[in-house]
Amino acid sequence: MDTILFAMKIAPSILDADFSQLGAELDSISSADRIHLDVMDGQYVPNISIGVGVLKKVEFPKEIEVHLMTLNPENFIDDFVALGAKTITFHIEATGINRAVSLLKSIKAKGIRAGVTIDGYTDPDWLTDEILGLADQVLVMSVKSGFGGQSFMAASLLKVEDLRARGYKGEIEIDGGITLENIKEASDAGVDIAVVGSFLMKKVSSERAAVIAGMQGV
Ligand code: DX5
Ligand code: ZN
């Protein structure tokens, strides 16, 4: 059988899931590659979302990655490592460059993947060569972080191309407004992992596996 070399990894965001039946919602997306947890603190972004306390008893069908949209990401690392996170990414706008360097080192020292995120309007120059040398993953937001269901910012793909042109070999993830219409462009620009929120979770649960398969195959 041929090996598919450039398949896109799909990481559904459960922000738009029906939390009154979270187990069934997770079952419906179990063919995804990762489950994306959006953690908002009401400070870095205006919203508050989910924290580790309410997730402790949840059984996730795939590895989890945590997207910290918080002012002090350092405060949340140990709890999410204990929850089983395989990747944690935080916003460089919240930490600045020096703290980002230390935090990437300390997340990696826990034996998990360390990611750094740039928000929709942030210049990729924030991602210094030192930071790119440390980050296992860069999350390029394609909306202003804080809410699901926003429109995709096409300019984010220029940032992805810029990172690849600079020689970044780690994983690049895109998050915000991803649909079946724009995911191929993201793949062509150099994205490896796409977060998909409202586009997927607004489908009836019986249709989600087919949507995920279509996105993985771009
Ligand atoms: C936004 C979050 C995203 C978002 C994705 O701040 O980081 O993960 O919920 O949802 P859609 O795909 O609806 O933009
Ligand atoms: Zn996210």
For the four alpha carbons of 9, 14, 15 and 18, in that order, the dihedral sign comes to: positive
CA 197 / ligand 1 centre spacing (Å): 5
pLDDT value at 2 more than 80: no
pLDDT value at 138 more than 90: yes
For residue 196, which phi and psi values (nearest 5 degrees)?
A: -130, 120
pLDDT above 90: percentage of residues in the chain: 97
Is the CB of residue 124 below 6 angstroms from any atom belonging to ligand 1?
no
Is the CB of residue 198 below 6 angstroms from any atom belonging to ligand 1?
yes
User: What pLDDT does residue 4 have?
Assistant: 45
Residue closest by Cα to atom 5 of ligand 1: 197
Let me know the angle formed at the C-alpha of 148 by 30 and 93, rounded to the nearest 5 degrees: 105
pLDDT value at 3 more than 50: no
Catalytic residue annotation: 38, 175
CA 4 / ligand 2 centre spacing (Å): 26
Is the CB of residue 186 below 6 angstroms from any atom belonging to ligand 1?
no
Is the CB of residue 175 below 6 angstroms from any atom belonging to ligand 1?
yes
Tell me: the pLDDT tens digits for 187-203? Answer: 999 999 999 999 999 99
Q: What is the pTM of this model?
A: 0.96
Per-residue pLDDT averaged across 12-40, rounded? Answer: 97
pLDDT value at 212 more than 50: yes
Tell me: the pLDDT tens digits for 101-120? Answer: 999 999 999 999 999 999 99
The mean of the pLDDT values for the chain is 96
**For 212, how many CA atoms within 13 A lie in the half-sphere containing its CB?**
24
Q: Give the three-state DSSP class for 109.
A: helix
pLDDT value at 52 more than 80: yes
Burial of 7 (0-12, 13-18, 19+ CB in 10 A): middle
DSSP class of residue 150?
A: P
User: What pLDDT does residue 6 have?
Assistant: 52
User: What pLDDT does residue 7 have?
Assistant: 86
Confidence of residue 172 (pLDDT cuts 50, 70, 90): very high
Pocket test for ligand 1, best of 87, 175, 179, 198 (most atoms within 8 A of CB): 175
Per-residue pLDDT averaged across 44-67, rounded? Answer: 96
pLDDT above 70: percentage of residues in the chain: 97
Strand pairing report for 137-141 and 193-196: unpaired
